[in-house]
Amino acid sequence: MPQSEQWDVPMLAKILRRRSKSIALLAVVAMAAALAFSLAQTREYTATAGILFRQQNIGQALLGSTALPPSSDPTRQASTNLTLVSLPTIAEQTGAALVPKLSRTEVQRKISVSAASQSEVVNVSATDRVPGRAADIANAYAAQVVQFQLSTDHDALAAAKSQLQAQLTALGPAAKHSAQAKTLRAREQQLAVVSSLQTGEAEVVQPATKPTSPSSPSIARNAVLGLLVGLVLGVALALVREGFDRRIKDVENLEEIFGAPVLAAVADMTDAEPATESFRTLRAQLRYFSIDKNIRTVLVTSAVAGEGKTTVASNLARAAGALPGSRTLLIEADLRKGDLAGVLGVEQSPGLVQVLSGEIDLHSAIQRPKRFNEATGEAGDPPAFDVLVAGASPPNAAEMLDSQSMVALLATASASYDLIIIDTAPLLLVADAMPLLRSVSGVLAVASLGSTKRDALQFLRKKLSQVDAPVLGLVANRVPAQDVAGGYGYGYGYRNPEQRSSPDGVVRQSQGKATPSEQQPDTKAASSEHIPA
């Protein structure tokens, strides 16, 4: 992406806020999928038995020493115990002891072995679809571990005893009173004592009980994991979509791409008050421009259709006409698909086409709107501005606008009106309005956040710069209400010594009451706002 689109923390916050609905939706869907998957799984139950391993004196007896200390490495002892409990032989013996019988592989699949917090204790866990069966398998496995250890110890003692008897026999009768014979007989007696007291080095200290709740699936855990995965995927998808989305989302990007200031930001027209204030601001901006440059005719255009230029033009005319003593004329120069008559509640004909063709004079074609908004049916006093609608669609719209009759019409209207606002067709769709760019004192471009694409706005900038159009600035349409309330649309396009650009390049008015020096704009800067080539 271009360098100007590098994301910082505030920009990321805006992106996440803008796409919060899709992120939340994906998170909810992922959580619902995890819940559905969990509920569809077969419930399994886990029972656990604990086995204690003790170090008795069998090792000392086998080695013939009573001073041999027990192992002092708990990690090694725990590893030895785990290896012993995990022997395939025990799994095979457990499967044979169960009713019904299980194979060694089935037992190993159901059994898991783990060391407890103490190295002497090993936990044997069995998992099965039937709670009681899980407890039976765990207890049977633990019992086989104890039995296997006991059997191993008995076998070791018996082998040691046989070996001692063989050594005594080998000494013969002549040496039966020798020191070696006495030592062997002492060890034989010790083995006999140990054998009589041997209960095994393993003991079940915690029998497995029938579990009352399933161990899997963990519905709550899966739901939380699903939610977290959904959030991560949602954020990732939002960033990917933002990277590939060419639509402009921020007022700062409009200024950056178009190379001209945003004179006003208009919120959604469903919120009337911020929109009304935005057009008052735009009207005031034009008056500041007029201090140094006589702004009598303003052309309102956009890159493509649907940006809201007709709405901006009509609302600007309404705001300008509301000034005491101000005379404002709104001209519809979109001769192909003009719909201003329906918006303002006036007759569709006669209009501009009839005036340019000589069928009727200008003042006879001018109308006064009956109400401002046909859609809302707003009643009351008519707006204090006049309107010249397009009239019947001609076959040669471009030629009519690029005629001496149009130049003469604007000159005649300028003698009667303080401000003339011209609503034109989108410049990137048709070139009808291009000749008018040389006849007006200012151009306003309308761009809609979330709709206007970067490429279209860049192309519009290039097209206007090629004819050195007197661009005054941009009107940002459909700006989020919180952004309009936060300061957009106030103070764009002019500067004074007490005003400075913020880091994003936007000029905002100072807080509090302005001094006389602050009220005087930098008209030189204002009048020189043209799009660079």
pLDDT at 524 over 70: no
Q: What does the radius of gyration of the chain's CA atoms come to, in whole angstroms?
A: 46
Q: Are residues 353 and 231 both part of a single domain?
A: no
For 525, residues 6+ apart whose C-beta sits below 8 A from its C-beta are: 494, 495
Q: What percent of the chain clears pLDDT 70, i.e. is strictly above it?
A: 74
* Residue 338: per-residue pLDDT: 77
Q: How far apart are CA 284 and CA 274, in angstroms?
A: 15
Supply 147's token pair.
């039995």
Query: DSSP readout, 375-438?
Result: TTT--SSPPS-EEE---SPPS-HHHHHTSHHHHHHHHHHHHH-SEEEEE---TTT--TTGGGGG
141 confidence band (pLDDT: 50, 70, 90): very high
Q: How far apart are CA 322 and CA 334, in angstroms?
A: 25
* Residue 266: per-residue pLDDT: 81
Q: Are 60 and 251 in contact (CB under 8 A)?
A: no
Sheet holding 202-206, edge to edge: 111-115, 121-128, 45-53, 202-206
174 confidence band (pLDDT: 50, 70, 90): low
Q: How far apart are CA 352 and CA 361, in angstroms?
A: 10
Q: Are 153 and 197 in contact (CB under 8 A)?
A: no
pLDDT at 289 over 80: no
Domain boundary among 180, 206, 232: 206
Q: Is residue 528 part of a domain?
A: no
At 434-473, the pLDDT tens digits run 889 888 888 998 988 877 788 888 888 898 888 888 888 8
Supply 272's token pair.
């009337």
At 335-360, the pLDDT tens digits run 888 788 888 888 888 889 999 988 99
Q: Is residue 257 part of a domain?
A: no
- Opening angle at CA 189, ends 188 and 193, nearest 5: 120
525 confidence band (pLDDT: 50, 70, 90): very low
Supply 198's token pair.
């041997």
Mean pLDDT of 41-46: 90
Q: Are residues 198 and 224 both part of a single domain?
A: no
Q: Are residues 430 and 300 both part of a single domain?
A: yes
Query: DSSP readout, 64-115?
Result: T-S-PPPP--HHHHHHHHHHHHT-HHHHHHHHHHSSS---HHHHHHHEEEEE
Number of domains in the chain: 3
Q: How far apart are CA 150 and CA 141, in angstroms?
A: 14
* Residue 119: per-residue pLDDT: 63
* Residue 148: per-residue pLDDT: 86
Q: Are residues 174 and 290 both part of a single domain?
A: no
Q: Are residues 385 and 411 both part of a single domain?
A: yes
pLDDT at 508 over 50: no
Q: In angstroms, what CA-CA distances link 108 with 44, 138, 333?
A: 16, 11, 85
Q: Would you say the C-alpha torsion 195, 197, 203, 209 has a positive or negative sign?
A: positive
Q: Are 106 and 133 in contact (CB under 8 A)?
A: no
Pairing state of beta strands 202-206 and 45-53? Answer: antiparallel
49 confidence band (pLDDT: 50, 70, 90): very high
Least confident of 73-77, 128-132, 464-468: 73-77
* Residue 77: per-residue pLDDT: 75
Supply 107's token pair.
């037992």
At 321-341, the pLDDT tens digits run 888 888 999 999 888 887 888
Q: In angstroms, what CA-CA distances link 113 with 78, 203, 212?
A: 12, 16, 21
* Residue 198: per-residue pLDDT: 54
pLDDT at 502 over 60: no
Range of the domain at 441: 268-508
* Residue 280: per-residue pLDDT: 84
* Residue 269: per-residue pLDDT: 56
Q: Are residues 343 and 455 both part of a single domain?
A: yes
193 confidence band (pLDDT: 50, 70, 90): low
Quick one: angle between helices 131-171 and 88-97, nearest 10? 120
At 235-265, the pLDDT tens digits run 888 888 777 767 777 777 778 888 888 888 8
* Residue 331: per-residue pLDDT: 92
Supply 370's token pair.
């009956």
Supply 37's token pair.
């998957």
The CATH number assigned to the domain holding 124 equals: 3.30.1890
Number of neighbours of residue 8 by Cβ within 10 angstroms: 7
Q: Are 14 and 253 in contact (CB under 8 A)?
A: no
Residue from 433, 165, 14, 127 nearest 446 by CA: 433
Q: Is residue 479 part of a domain?
A: yes
E strands, 165-251, are: 202-206
Q: How far apart are CA 394 and CA 414, in angstroms?
A: 25
| Average pLDDT value over all residues in the chain | 77
Q: Are residues 50 and 16 both part of a single domain?
A: no
Q: Is residue 516 part of a domain?
A: no
* Residue 110: per-residue pLDDT: 92
138 confidence band (pLDDT: 50, 70, 90): very high
E strands, 303-384, are: 328-332
* Residue 517: per-residue pLDDT: 32
* Residue 493: per-residue pLDDT: 34
Q: How far apart are CA 185 and CA 167, in angstroms?
A: 10
Q: Are residues 63 and 184 both part of a single domain?
A: yes
Mean pLDDT of 86-93: 90
* Residue 395: per-residue pLDDT: 84
Mean pLDDT of 478-490: 60
pLDDT at 272 over 60: no
* pTM assigned to the model: 0.54
* Residue 113: per-residue pLDDT: 92
At 156-167, the pLDDT tens digits run 767 777 777 777
Residue from 283, 247, 391, 393 nearest 332 by CA: 391
Q: Are residues 363 and 299 both part of a single domain?
A: yes
pLDDT at 476 over 60: yes
Least confident of 2-11, 227-236, 418-427, 494-503: 494-503
Q: How far apart are CA 498 and CA 519, in angstroms?
A: 10
For the chain, the maximum distance between any two Cα atoms, rounded to a whole number of angstroms, is 153
Q: Is residue 211 part of a domain?
A: no
Q: Are residues 61 and 174 both part of a single domain?
A: yes
Domain boundary among 195, 229, 244: 244
* Residue 275: per-residue pLDDT: 59
Q: How far apart are CA 388 and CA 398, in angstroms?
A: 18
Mean pLDDT of 301-312: 87
The CATH number assigned to the domain holding 321 equals: 3.40.50.300
Higher pLDDT, 527 or 407: 407
Domain boundary among 156, 184, 206: 206
Task: Look at residue 198 and give its three-state secondary structure.
Answer: coil
* Residue 132: per-residue pLDDT: 92
Q: Is residue 517 part of a domain?
A: no
Q: Is residue 287 part of a domain?
A: yes
Q: Are residues 465 and 382 both part of a single domain?
A: yes
Q: Is residue 63 part of a domain?
A: yes
At 362-391, the pLDDT tens digits run 989 999 887 554 444 455 556 789 999 988
pLDDT at 47 over 90: yes
Q: Are residues 36 and 55 both part of a single domain?
A: no
Quick one: angle between helices 309-321 and 272-292, nearest 10? 70
Q: How far apart are CA 391 and CA 69, in angstroms?
A: 111
